[in-house]
Amino acid sequence: MTFFEELQKQRWDDHRYYHHNRINQFLHLLSASCFVVSYGLLFVNPAAAALVGWLLAMTLRQTGHFFFEPKTYDEVNKASHDYKESVKVGYNLNRKVVLLSIWALTPVALMLTPDLFGLLTPATGLVEFISNTALVWLFIGLGAVVFRTVHLFKLMGVQSGLVWMTKILTDPFHDIKIYQKSPYYILKGEMYDTMDDWYEEVPSGKSELETRTTPN
């Protein structure tokens, strides 16, 4: 597959496997909007960008995944939850728990080590403490993307890793495009996506992760 064909496939697999619930889609729409604001703030106030990105965008997004997306057998794709978690290209729920735990423990770490081993100027007040926390959160987010990208180089190849990184960085814009109608479906009472109204043609073939695992 070419780079853009694989990007399309990763986006399709992510949508069809992990975004059935319309509330989850709506939360992703809100999250994506917050991420777009966060991207803009990066150029003028990185600390504020991190606060919007983590406290609003990530909280909304992961609430959808953890609390609204069904964990039962996926009849649409004929795949179990365990299978979908095993072939997740990015951060599956277990990896997200680790990442979110690191994020949540950051303020505690800064209370115990205000200068973070010489990397930060110790905060002298609440505003500076929040700013230092936000900056650490910013680097945790960037580090998580870089870490998984490099990990995917080994698991799936360099192109697949770069495709995933591109997908992650452009997800906010793509989510707004494909989930903008989610409030309409919720109001209609259609709480689950049948996955038959998005891409007409998606590149065939399994990813490197999929070839290692057989659905239950």
63-88 tens-digit pLDDT:
999 999 999 999 999 999 999 999 99
pLDDT at 207: 58
Question: Which pLDDT score, from 0 to 100, does residue 162 have?
Answer: 98
* 205 — pLDDT class (breaks 50, 70, 90): low
Q: 195 falls in which pLDDT band (50, 70, 90)?
A: confident
Domain that holds residue 109: 3-71+90-191
In a domain, 177, yes or no: yes
Residue 211 falls within a domain, yes or no? no
Which neighbouring-strand residues pair with 192?
A: 21
Rounded to an integer, what distance in angstroms lies between the CA atom of residue 15 and that of residue 11? 6
Is the pLDDT assigned to residue 132 strictly greater than 50?
Answer: yes
Q: Count of domains in the chain?
A: 1
For the chain, give the mean pLDDT: 92
Residue 76, domain member (yes or no): no
**Spatial separation of the C-alpha atoms in residues 200 and 194, rounded to whole Å:** 14
19 is a domain residue? yes
Question: Looking at the predicted structure, is the pLDDT value of residue 212 above 50?
Answer: no
Note the pLDDT of residue 179.
Answer: 96
Structure tokens at 55: 């406290």
Average pLDDT for 154-166: 98
Q: Is residue 210 assigned to a domain?
A: no
Residue 187, domain member (yes or no): yes
Q: Is the pLDDT score of 169 beyond 90?
A: yes
3-state secondary structure of 74: strand
Q: Is 175 within the bounds of a domain?
A: yes
pLDDT at 175 over 80: yes
Domain membership of residue 142 (yes or no) is yes
User: Which of 44, 43, 41, 67 has the alpha carbon at shortest distance from 54?
Assistant: 41
Q: Is the pLDDT of residue 123 over 90?
A: yes
Mean pLDDT of 99-125: 96
Question: What is the average per-residue pLDDT within 120-143?
Answer: 97
Percent of the chain with pLDDT strictly greater than 70: 91
What pLDDT sits at residue 209?
A: 57
CB atoms within 10 A of CB 87: 19
The whole-number pLDDT of residue 92 equals: 96
pLDDT of 28-45, one tens digit each?
Answer: 999 999 999 999 999 999
146 token code pair: 């870089």
- 1-26 average pLDDT score: 95
Which pTM does this prediction carry? 0.90
